[in-house]
Structure 1
Amino acid sequence: MKRDSEHILTEWLVVNCQLGNANALEQLMKIWYPKLLRYAYRQLGDQQKAQDAVQNTFEVVSKTIRKIQDPSCFAKWVYQILQNKGVDIIRQKQRQDRLCDEYVQFQELHYASNLTVVAGSEKMEFDQMLDGLPPQLYQLVHLHYLEGFSMLEISKMLALPTGTIKSRLHQARKSIQNKLHNSESGEVR
């Protein structure tokens, strides 16, 4: 990377930030905000998400700038932080989309079963399908789909690994689907 007056100023500001100068940090942010915002916008394709990524980056910078041993490495360091924050935002969006899709599927299943499935003369409602689930599966279905907790939140609440939560929710969905299929085909379980 070529060293021009802006890079020299950045190095000087980094050193002053490390010495506790709040004005230096403010100046550093003014210089780097437009560059980082452009980069984040290209990465994320959304202005608000780009602003969030840059804001999160500056949060990390303000807390950890004292750890930089070589002020000339600031540009590389800050872009690396921004890259990681952008990836975090993308992952969060993917988790939200996946949760939304699962919820829609669950609601469709709930709606279809609430129409009551007639198996001979017997009716099986959605609540009955949930009642038949083992307590550990019912608990997860209730927390995730009816209360809206994320798998990570449930994992922390129940002190279980996230993978266990995912596999048990999958098992619960399969059980509900089997009950629905069996009630449609006339079998009673």
Structure 2
Amino acid sequence: MRRDVQRIFQESQVLAAQAGDRTAFGHLAACWQPRLLAHARRLTDTSDMARDVLQEAWVDIVRGLPRLRDPVAFPAWSYRIVTRKAAQAVSRIQRTRRTAHDLASDPGQGRVEWPEAEARSDLARVSRAIAALPPAQRAAMGLHYMDGFSVAEIAVALGIPAGTVKTRLMHARRKIRAALEPDREGDSDDTQ
């Protein structure tokens, strides 16, 4: 029930922001900034890049908000903008690395160092397993389990078919399960 009231309030904020209410837009931005930043972080792997991506995304969100036809679509629409901006940023970096031949000289990129004390906890094991997922699977997992998006909303946010979302979630869950239960590697369920 609380979630429904919150969504209705956010939809009213979208409508007010579309009508030019700066206070409503400020509330909307304050509400969605942490969520969109977390999504950008999942897609880019660095906090600095995530902040840059989100800044670029907010420019597009502000420009496109008056053309958004359905305020209910704001969450998926804004996540889609962040996804697109993150893909562009990652693509720029990859081009730069290829050009400079830095890819081969940076083998540790994407690895996360974990403090020894934290490595002993279950939370650290889960965090490592999630961090080890490919960015596409990590994004789908985050949107579904952390942000509470449905498969259809994730499909819109990531710009992919719903079936692809389901496949990414399935593979991500299998990889996390395998990382948390290494003795199950030989099970026939993991080989399919």
Alignment TM-score, normalising by the size of structure 2: 0.50
2:37 paired residue number? 37
Structure 1 spans left out of the alignment, 5+ residues: 103-189
1:53 paired residue number? 53
- 5 Å-filtered alignment, 1:75-154, equals 75-101=75-101
Structure 2 distance, partners of 1:32, 1:5, is 16
Q: Secondary structure at the match of 1:4?
A: helix
Structure 2 distance, partners of 1:80, 1:46, is 19
Q: Secondary structure at the match of 1:69?
A: coil
Q: Deviations over 1:19-44 (max 9, x none)?
A: 01111111111000100111111111
Residue 6 of structure 1 and its aligned partner are, at CA, apart by 2.2
Structure 2 distance, partners of 1:46, 1:31, is 22
- 5 Å-filtered alignment, 1:160-171, equals none
Which amino acid in the other structure matches residue 70 of structure 1? D
Structure 1 distance, partners of 2:58, 2:24, is 13
Structure 1 distance, partners of 2:96, 2:5, is 43
Structure 2 distance, partners of 1:12, 1:43, is 29
* C-alpha RMSD over aligned residues: 1.7
Structure 2 spans left out of the alignment, 5+ residues: 103-192
Inter-CA distance 93–52: structure 2 relative to 1 (3 Å threshold)? same
Residue 7 of structure 1 and its aligned partner are, at CA, apart by 1.4
Q: Secondary structure at the match of 1:20?
A: coil
Residue 3 of structure 1 and its aligned partner are, at CA, apart by 5.2
Structure 1 distance, partners of 2:72, 2:3, is 9
Which amino acid in the other structure matches residue 86 of structure 1? A
Identity %: 28
Which amino acid in the other structure matches residue 57 of structure 1? A
Residue 71 of structure 1 and its aligned partner are, at CA, apart by 0.4
2:8 paired residue number? 8
Q: Secondary structure at the match of 2:32?
A: helix
Query: How many equivalent residue pairs?
Result: 101
Q: Deviations over 1:52-99 (max 9, x none)?
A: 111111110111101111100101100111110110010010111122
Structure 1 distance, partners of 2:9, 2:54, is 20
Which amino acid in the other structure matches residue 25 of structure 1? F
Structure 2 distance, partners of 1:54, 1:38, is 10
1:67 paired residue number? 67
Which amino acid in the other structure matches residue 57 of structure 2? T
Inter-CA distance 25–33: structure 2 relative to 1 (3 Å threshold)? same
Which amino acid in the other structure matches residue 29 of structure 2? M
Alignment TM-score, normalising by the size of structure 1: 0.51
Q: Secondary structure at the match of 2:101?
A: helix
Structure 2 distance, partners of 1:14, 1:47, is 27
